[in-house]
Homo-oligomer: A and B are copies of this chain.
Amino acid sequence: MQKFKVSFSPDNKSIQVEKDKTILSAAISAGIYVNSTCGGDGVCGRCKVKVKSGEVNSQASGIITAEERKNNIHLACLTTIHSDLEVEIPANSRLNFDKLTPDELEERLGGLYSKAEDIQLIKTNSQDGVFKHSPFATKLYLELPKPTLNDSVSDLERVVRSLRTLGKFPVMQTGIFNIRQLGELLRDSDWKITVTLGLRNDTVEIVLVESGNTTSKNFGLSFDIGTTTISGQLVDLNSKKIIGTKATYNQQAAFGSDVITRIIYAGQADGLEKLHLAVTDTMNQIIRDLSLEHNIDLNDVNCIVCSGNTTMIHLLLSVDPAPIRKTPYVPTANFLPVMRAAEAGININPRGLLSCVPGVSSYVGGDTTAGILSSGIYKLEQPSILIDIGTNGEIVLGNRDFLVACAASAGPAFEGSGVTSGMRASSGAIQKVEINKKDFNVKFSTIADKLPRGICGSGYIGLLAAMLETGIIDKSGKIKATGSRIRQTDSGKEFVVCFKNETETGLEIVITEADIENLKRSKGAIYSATAILVKHLGLEFSSIAKIFIAGGFGTYLDIDKAIKIGLLPDLERSKFVFIGNSALAGARQILLSDEAMSMADSLASKITYFELSVDPDYMDEYSQALFFPHTDLKKFPNVKF
């Protein structure tokens, strides 16, 4: 196939592409964000570009005025490449990111902005294999019989007829976009094509028709959109292999650290739009980084499955979240229709599909459904617990017969946010800590054995346990000891974990009394919510068979130490299973199997939401949990310092 060089300005990027590809597709391949909210249908008119030199074939469109045509302005989605090209992308045709004023950008990116980083995930007994491999988007290669006078069914019916020989598709849809391209495409490709089929709830859509056999290039994304942290994963839909996983902080954090402040911000002028752009920018950054690093063309990424709490999903889709925080706390939608990723501003193949994992209620979202799915708790005989430790912590109690979920506002401390030296569970994060009883010297290990850059959630758990064991802090979290590592500051005492010369950044790594207070409130919220839920269902901790611990802790979590600080209940260690980011794992299962997708729907319908705040004992339980490990030591018989 003939290839041409397309150079984009003012980006100063160029790329080799095959003849007949569209300029939009070339721009996406080059990692340039071009506007396209209609998914390349040629109707939104947002992808106007100027062809400065070279030969193109531009499909007619009423969107381009005669004046624009004279000036070589074309719609990138309807214009194919027929020679080397120089293309200018005007500011208006770039993704919204570029439309922010410098002040807005600065406000948003300042401080919190950080590159997406590779994250390592624990190897769980992945449930991927449990479901049939039937991904969200499937590519099928077809060699169609050429039409003759005796076999003259139309182009579209010829494609559908051939597809129907390969599988059962009770309801099949396609849009006018594919039909408009079809005649020329079939004839130019000598009737050898690849059809991408996507699942749109109960129907199957012909998402895309491409020339030749492109079945080997079929990728998808799974995302966990957390209040504080967004994690994304690029998956080969053919081999089911994870190609890469990255995480970064949700840029929305600039507008508030929890869902309530975000909802309030959304009510301000342009607030909803800014929050929407913040989450999509964060996701697009992860997507672009994954694609560039692994040399995957974004045009070959055909679908994305997102799990997230209900507020995050509303903001992703620009749906006003206001009713979520007003009694009776009813969101606009828990079950969302499959749509084009472009409709939400997500930059994959412009016709690629987006599915959101269904949620349960305003405060138990699709991330919990995904966690239940990937933990497998819904298949167990004995009542078990899933604890997902995040800014909005979710606790699920149930088995194959029932599932009850509640939400605890834990804050972002265990995600390394809002604490002095906090960081995500990525390269250079301290994840294990020991402190010498005598001199308080610290021994630590970091993720990927790099010089330390900060402390992640599992590091904080180890650090708090060690500070308790060594008596550096008391049960209330106050620093009691003295020594070279302990300092008094204006805002209280702090403990130096690493000195400047030990760190990658040349900055000290410390934990302050305020940090400890923060972490204590987080662990208290999680523990007390779990305790209330168990009590609410008339059970005892002792009757719980399994406790699945989920959260962005990377590859490591020391259960013993988590019990020691009172984050987890004091039960037999064998009952605990650490499963890492279960929401991301669940989203991946849904990406890879329509059976998992159906199961998620049925789980979300089945889960009962329990509102903690209506339980008269909740505040008591919470207050009692604001000690290490707890006010009532009988509840932690095995914890000794």
Summarize A's interface: helix, strand, loop or mixed.
Answer: loop
A38 touches B46 (CB 8 A): no
Given contacts A176-B339, A319-B183, A343-B176, contact A154 B61 (CB under 8 A): no
A182 touches B277 (CB 8 A): no
Chain B residues whose CB sits within 8 angstroms of the CB of A329 once the complex forms: 149, 152
Q: How large is the interface on A (under 10, 10 to 19, 20 to 34, 35 or more residues)?
A: 35 or more
A99 touches B44 (CB 8 A): no
A333 touches B276 (CB 8 A): no
A320 touches B179 (CB 8 A): no
**A336 interface neighbour in B171, B179, B332, Cβ under 8 Å:** B179
Nearest opposing residue in chain B for A182, CB measure: B332
Give the CA-CA distance A345 to B184 in the complex, in Å: 23
Given contacts A43-B343, A317-B176, A319-B179, contact A154 B60 (CB under 8 A): no
Which of chain A's residues 18-68 have a Cβ closer than 8 Å to chain B? 37-38, 41, 43-46, 60-63, 65-66
B44 touches A149 (CB 8 A): no
Tell me how far the C-beta of A74 lies from the nearest C-beta in chain B, rounded to whole angstroms: 13
**A99 interface neighbour in B66, B148, B276, Cβ under 8 Å:** B66
**A183 interface neighbour in B173, B202, B328, B332, Cβ under 8 Å:** B332
Tell me how far the C-beta of A208 lies from the nearest C-beta in chain B, rounded to whole angstroms: 15
- Could you say how many copies of this chain the assembly holds? 2
B187 touches A323 (CB 8 A): yes
Give the CA-CA distance A609 to B149 in the complex, in Å: 11
Chain B residues whose CB sits within 8 angstroms of the CB of A152 once the complex forms: 328-330, 361-362, 609
Nearest opposing residue in chain B for A91, CB measure: B65
A611 on the B face (CB < 8 A): yes
A273 touches B60 (CB 8 A): yes
Give the CA-CA distance A525 to B620 in the complex, in Å: 93
Chain B residues whose CB sits within 8 angstroms of the CB of A327 once the complex forms: 149
A333 touches B99 (CB 8 A): no
Chain B residues whose CB sits within 8 angstroms of the CB of A337 once the complex forms: 173-176, 179
A484 on the B face (CB < 8 A): no
Which of chain A's residues 149-172 have a Cβ closer than 8 Å to chain B? 149, 152-158, 170-171
**A157 interface neighbour in B43, B147, B334, Cβ under 8 Å:** B334
B175 touches A339 (CB 8 A): yes
10 contacts between A and B (CB under 8 A): A45-B46, A61-B273, A149-B327, A149-B611, A156-B332, A170-B202, A173-B200, A174-B337, A184-B320, A202-B203
- Please give the residue numbers on chain A whose beta carbons come within 8 Å of chain B beta carbons, in ascending order: 37-38, 41, 43-46, 60-63, 65-66, 92, 96, 99-101, 147-149, 152-158, 170-171, 173-176, 179-180, 182-184, 187, 200-203, 270-273, 276-277, 317-320, 322-323, 327-337, 339, 343-345, 361-362, 609, 611, 614
Beyond the given A156-B333, A176-B343, A182-B333, could you list 7 further A-B residue pairs with CB under 8 A, ordered by the A residue number? A37-B38, A38-B44, A62-B345, A149-B614, A171-B201, A179-B317, A180-B318
